C-alpha cells in the first residue's frame, strides 16, 4: 500500500483567520514553537486568530536556535499538554518542530515567516549538530497538515531570506531532473519531476522584481508567485519524489561547506550556499547553457558565483568535497561522483566565474 500525504495551504493577509476551521478537527490545545524574530512577527496574529474559538494556546516556546536532537529533547516536556504543534519561522525552526511532532506523534501546522526553504511544506527534516554542521536527515512521510502563509509577514522580513530561498528553490529542479536521468520514474516520482519546472522558471522570471518588492515591504503578484514557488512548489516536489531525487549534488556541496569555519562564521545562509552548489553541479554535469542562465540570475541579485562570495578558497575544496560525499545526496546519480570530480568542477567554475561577462 502506498499512502501519499500533502498539506493544504492558505495564503493571504487574512490567512491566519482560517486557523480555527482547519485545526479544530485535530484537537483543542496547541503549543506554539518558533524562532525569536518569527514569534515576534506572528504570535500576536496567531493568538488573535484563535480568540473566541475552541483552540487554546498552551504556551509559546523558543525552538533553541538550531535544528538539533538536543533542542528537540529540550522541547518534548514543553508540549506534553498540547494536542498539536504550531511551527513558526524559517527552515531550522520548522524542521525542529517537524521532527518533534513525528517523535511525539502529534499533528503539526506551519507558519512560515520567511520564504527561505520549502521546510514548511515537507515531511523531510534536516538535523544539525549544535555547531551547525550537518548531522542527518530525518525521514518521514508525514508533512504538515496545513501551511498558513501571511505574505505581508514575509514581505516585512529581511530580504536576505527571500534572496537565499530563491537559490534553494532552483536547486530542486536541477537536482531531481539530473538524479532521475535515464530512469523510468513511477507515478509519484514522475509527478514531482514534472512539477519541478515550477521551482526554477518562476524564480528566473520574477525573482529580481520580487526582491525589489520585498525590500519595499510590498506584497505584489510577483512576490506572491515567488513565495509560493519557494514554499509550496518545492515542498510538493520533495513530498512527491523519493529521497534520492529530492536532493542531489548542489545540496551535497552545501553540506561540504558546513565544515568550514569561515563559511559558518560569516553566517552564509543555506540557500545562498546551495545556489553556488547549483552552479558547481551544472559545471560538473556540463549543462553549460543552464549554468549560464543561473549565473546571470545570480549575478543580477547578488547570489554567489565564486568561492570568495562564500568565504572559501581553492585550498578548502578537497575537504569540502570529502564532506559532501559522506552524505546520501548523490547516492542516486547518473554516474559515480568522486572527490576529484567535485574539486575539478569547482575549480572550473572558479575560473569561468572570473571571466564571465553575462
List, for residues 68-88, the tens digit of each pLDDT value. 999 999 999 999 999 999 999
Is residue 145 within 8 A of residue 239, CB to CB? The reply is: no
pLDDT one-digit tens code per residue, 45-76? 999 999 999 999 999 999 999 999 999 999 99
Phi and psi at residue 14, to the nearest 5°: -110, 25
Stretch 34-52: mean pLDDT: 97
pLDDT exceeds 70 at position 2: no
| Percent residues over pLDDT 70 in the chain | 99
pLDDT at 154: 97
Q: Is the pLDDT of residue 32 over 70?
A: yes
Separation between Cα atoms, residue 215 and residue 107, nearest integer Å: 34
Would you call 148 helix, strand, or coil by DSSP?
strand
Q: Are 185 and 238 in contact (CB under 8 A)?
A: no
Q: Is the pLDDT of residue 294 over 80?
A: yes
Cα separation, 159 vs 55, in Å, equals: 33
pLDDT tens-digit series, residues 187-244: 999 999 999 999 999 999 999 999 999 999 999 999 999 999 999 999 999 999 988 9
The reported pTM is 0.91
Contact 193, 245 (CB under 8 A): yes
pLDDT band per the 50, 70, 90 thresholds, residue 265:
confident
Residue range 248-266: mean pLDDT, rounded: 92
Q: How far is CA 13 from CA 18, 24, 216, 253, in A?
A: 11, 21, 17, 37
Give the mean model confidence (pLDDT) for residues 105-130.
93
- Rounded to an integer, the average pLDDT of 303-315 is 97
Give the pLDDT of residue 152.
Answer: 98
Question: According to the model, what pLDDT value does residue 264 have?
Answer: 76
Query: Which residues sit opposite 306 in a β-bridge?
Result: none
Q: What is the mean pLDDT of residues 110-131?
A: 92
pLDDT band at 358 (very low <50, low <70, confident <90, very high): low
Q: Given this model, what pLDDT does residue 102 score?
A: 95
CA 97 → CA 62, 100, 165, distances in Å? Answer: 11, 5, 20
Q: Give the separation between CA 112 and CA 87, rounded to whole angstroms.
A: 8
Report the pLDDT averaged over residues 313-323.
97
Range scoring the smallest mean pLDDT among 2-11, 71-80, 109-118:
2-11
Q: How confident is the model at residue 3 (pLDDT cuts 50, 70, 90)?
A: low
- 245 pLDDT higher than 80: yes
Amino acid at each position: 500500500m502506498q499512502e501519499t500525504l500533502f498539506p493544504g495551504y492558505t495564503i493571504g493577509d487574512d490567512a491566519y483567520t482560517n486557523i480555527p476551521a482547519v485545526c479544530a478537527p485535530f484537537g483543542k490545545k496547541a503549543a506554539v514553537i518558533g524562532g525569536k524574530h518569527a514569534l515576534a512577527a506572528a504570535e500576536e496574529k496567531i493568538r488573535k486568530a484563535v480568540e473566541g474559538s475552541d483552540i487554546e494556546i498552551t504556551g509559546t516556546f523558543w525552538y533553541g536556535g538550531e535544528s538539533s536532537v538536543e533542542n528537540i529533547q529540550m522541547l518534548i516536556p514543553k508540549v506534553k499538554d498540547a494536542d498539536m504543534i504550531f511551527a513558526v519561522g524559517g527552515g531550522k525552526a520548522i524542521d525542529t518542530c517537524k521532527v518533534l511532532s513525528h517523535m511525539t506523534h502529534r499533528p503539526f501546522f506551519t507558519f512560515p515567516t520567511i520564504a527561505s526553504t520549502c521546510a514548511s511544506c515537507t515531511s523531510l527534516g534536516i538535523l544539525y549538530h549544535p555547531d551547525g554542521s550537518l548531522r542527518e536527515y530525518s525521514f518521514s512521510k508525514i508533512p504538515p497538515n496545513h501551511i498558513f502563509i501571511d505574505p505581508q509577514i514575509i514581505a516585512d522580513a529581511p530580504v536576505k531570506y527571500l534572496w537565499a530561498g530563491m537559490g534553494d528553490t532552483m536547486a530542486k529542479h536541477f537536482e531531481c531532473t539530473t538524479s532521475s536521468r535515464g530512469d523510468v520514474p513511477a507515478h509519484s516520482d514522475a509527478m514531482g519531476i514534472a512539477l519541478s519546472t515550477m521551482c526554477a522558471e518562476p524564480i528566473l522570471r520574477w525573482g529580481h522584481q520580487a526582491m525589489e518588492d520585498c525590500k519595499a515591504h510590498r506584497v505584489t503578484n510577483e512576490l506572491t508567485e515567488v513565495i509560493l514557488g519557494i514554499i509550496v512548489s518545492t515542498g510538493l516536489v520533495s513530498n512527491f519524489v523519493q529521497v534520492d531525487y529530492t536532493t542531489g549534488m548542489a545540496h551535497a556541496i552545501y553540506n561540504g561547506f558546513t565544515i568550514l569555519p569561515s563559511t559558518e562564521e560569516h553566517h552564509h545562509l543555506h540557500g545562498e550556499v546551495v545556489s553556488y552548489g547549483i552552479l558547481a553541479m551544472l559545471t560538473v554535469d556540463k549543462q553549460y547553457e543552464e549554468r549560464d542562465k543561473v549565473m546571470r540570475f545570480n549575478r543580477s541579485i547578488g547570489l554567489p558565483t565564486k568561492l570568495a562570495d562564500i568565504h572559501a578558497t581553492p585550498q578548502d575544496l578537497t575537504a569540502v568535497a570529502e564532506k559532501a560525499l559522506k552524505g546520501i545526496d548523490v547516492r542516486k546519480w547518473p554516474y559515480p561522483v568522486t572527490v576529484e570530480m567535485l574539486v575539478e568542477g569547482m575549480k572550473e567554475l572558479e575560473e569561468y566565474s572570473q571571466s564571465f561577462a553575462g
